[in-house]
Amino acid sequence: MKIAIPNKGRLQQPTLQFLQSVGIKPLASDDRALIVPTSWEGVQLVMIRTEDIPNIVETGATELGITGHDYVIESSADVEELIKLDFGRSKIVLAVPQTWSENSVEELKVREFRVATKYYNIAKEYVRKKELNAKVVKISGAAEVMPSLGAADAIIDVMSTGTTLKLHGLKAIDIIMDSYAVVIGNRNWIKNDEADRINLLLTMMKGAIAAKGKKMIFMNVPDNRLDGVINSLPAMLAPAITRLSRSDIWEVITVADEDILPEVIAKVKAAGARDIVVIDIEKVVK
């Protein structure tokens, strides 16, 4: 089974970190390697340009791929977005020179201009829908420099913080779409000979996402303080409780989001819990 992942760029390292959280670790570190074996027997990573991944997955050359939602839309590839991931968040924006007086798309309708972009299909559709008098210039390199080089007047490009646009004298005046990393599969993946393994892998991926930012808490609680501790606890369904060998002591287990962990510990300790142990959760499989 093959998984196509970015060979470089802003999604590469987060993708590798995510796969490691699932349990899939590359077994080679050569940057020149295009197909890399992993710690999962029979699972290989195929290093491809991020923008090419949707088309590669569509052909069935790889069973799965991790790429940006923006590239899925741009490619029009016949693939299915199977999992929305929690990294690679960005926006595709229309940006114009800061010196322009226009601050909205409506104001731009009276101006004739050129817009440089690597998102040619997205840009063409956007210009058509917004009824702009703009010529779309297709590029493959950095879009931000095109206005200063005189190759275009404006750009349609990805924006994370907006800092790069400001450095190049540009301002975003419209958000075209939100983007994020996604796991994609061929539309017919369920009929694949590897369908069971693919489904298991998707389950493990979802489990790793569900576990992110959660902690498991173990504590000992005297019998006469049990109700107070349980009432102060969050839980995914309900806390698990087990009577210990000492009949007057209970072990209580629950799961809490990491950002409220200090508050939870303070509450249960005040309610009578002791011997509190907090551990990481690798996966939550539902």
| Nearest by Cα to 151 from 96, 114, 122, 120 | 114
Please name the fold of domain 89-177.
Answer: D-Maltodextrin-Binding Protein; domain 2 (3.40.190)
Query: What value does the mean pLDDT of the chain take?
Result: 92
Round to whole Å and give the CA distance between 175 and 100: 18
Query: Any idea what the Cα angle at residue 20 is, between residues 199 and 196, rounded to 5°?
Result: 15
HSE of 48, CA atoms in CB hemisphere, 13 A: 23
pLDDT score recorded for residue 192 = 76
Domain ranges of the chain: 1-86+179-208, 89-177, 213-278
Which amino acid appears at position 42 of this protein?
G
Asked whether the domain spanning 89-177 has the same topology as the one spanning 1-86+179-208, the reply is: yes
At 241-285, the pLDDT tens digits run 999 887 789 999 998 889 999 999 999 999 999 999 999 988 888
Amino acid at 76: S
Radius of gyration of the chain (CA): 25
The token duo for 262 is 């200090």
User: Is pLDDT above 80 for 286?
Assistant: no
User: What CATH number labels 213-278?
Assistant: 3.30.70.120
More confident residue, 30 or 235: 30
Taking residue 271's Cβ as centre, other Cβ atoms within 10 Å add up to: 18
pTM metric for this prediction:
0.85
Q: Can you tell me the distance from the alpha carbon of 116 to that of 267, in angstroms, rounded to the nearest whole number?
A: 56
Model confidence at 161, in pLDDT bands (50, 70, 90)? Answer: confident
1-86+179-208 topology per CATH: D-Maltodextrin-Binding Protein; domain 2 (3.40.190)
Residue 127 pLDDT greater than 80, yes or no: yes
User: Under a CB-based contact definition with an 8 Å cutoff, are residues 107 and 130 in contact?
Assistant: no
